[in-house]
Amino acid sequence: MTISLPDTLRLEKIDGCLSLYHVDRPQAFINVNFSSPAMQYRRQQAVRQQAVVKAAGKLFLLDNEPPRLIDGTAGLGVDAFLLASAGWHVLMIEQSPVMHALLADGLKRAQQESQTSGDALFTATISRLSLSPCGDSRAALASVDPVSVIYLDPMFPARKKTAQVKKERWLLQQLHDEDAEGVGLLAVAKQRAKKVVVKRPVSAEPLDSVQPSSMLRGKTSRFDIYVGNLTAI
């Protein structure tokens, strides 16, 4: 797969991890590292108290299959990792070739590390993560087998009043058409899941202006919850 980048961005190996950075801010690179101290800290805390895990709800089966969830906008894989830590079998979908390459590199390294880490919980978590081939998120969702939950986290519109944008956010802004990323995803997701969870800024309009059945609010974001069109478990 050919990956094209804006002239100002670079995709290179840094300390063994495929990383993305801006030529003007080479120290502010991002990558996917599931075994980083930050990721392990979040996993080892009360993972079921994490907002995204609470929004996904209880683990339940669909047609007697393991509890399966699709992250339709996987990004850097943070939420997918937390959900897998909670017991979900998570399929990550990412349509950006750059982000997909970062995810594929991070997952491959994590799979290799899990074989020698001696951490049974980390090994189990990584075994529950998988990555779909890179492609349009809507088409990918439309083609998957039905699942219990689909999770969507379209890129938030830029907060103009924010004094300092986090490096992840700043770099992702260089890659994504923020206004268009989530358009049409909700309708497709509702056709393929019993439940759809959408992460939004706390004061933003619902995705595609569709009112949720319920919501879980946090300080800066909320999780809009929709009943999918699959009615039977």
Q: Which two tokens mark 151?
A: 């999770």
Average pLDDT over residues 15-44: 90
DSSP 3: -
Q: Which has the higher per-residue pLDDT, 146 or 218?
A: 146
**Was 63 annotated as part of a binding site?**
no
Q: Which two tokens mark 206?
A: 């619902």
Q: What is the pLDDT of residue 41?
A: 81
| Phi, psi dihedrals of residue 188, rounded to the nearest 5° | -65, -45
Average pLDDT over residues 222-232: 86
pLDDT tens string 154-193? 876 555 544 345 667 777 777 765 545 678 999 999 999 9
Q: What is the pLDDT of residue 157?
A: 55
pLDDT tens string 185-216? 999 999 999 999 999 999 999 999 999 999 99
Closest CA to 55 of 79, 78, 30, 23: 79
Domains of the chain and CATH, by start: 9-227 (3.40.50.150)
Q: Which residues pair with 225 in a beta bridge?
A: 197, 214
pLDDT tens string 71-125? 999 999 999 999 999 999 999 999 999 999 999 999 999 999 999 988 899 999 9
Contact in structure between 150 and 193 (CB atoms under 8 Å): yes
How far is residue 11's CA from residue 18's CA, in Å, rounded to a whole number? Answer: 7
Work out the mean pLDDT of the chain and round it to a whole number: 88
- Report the amino acid identity of residue 62: L
Q: Which residues pair with 11 in a beta bridge?
A: 20
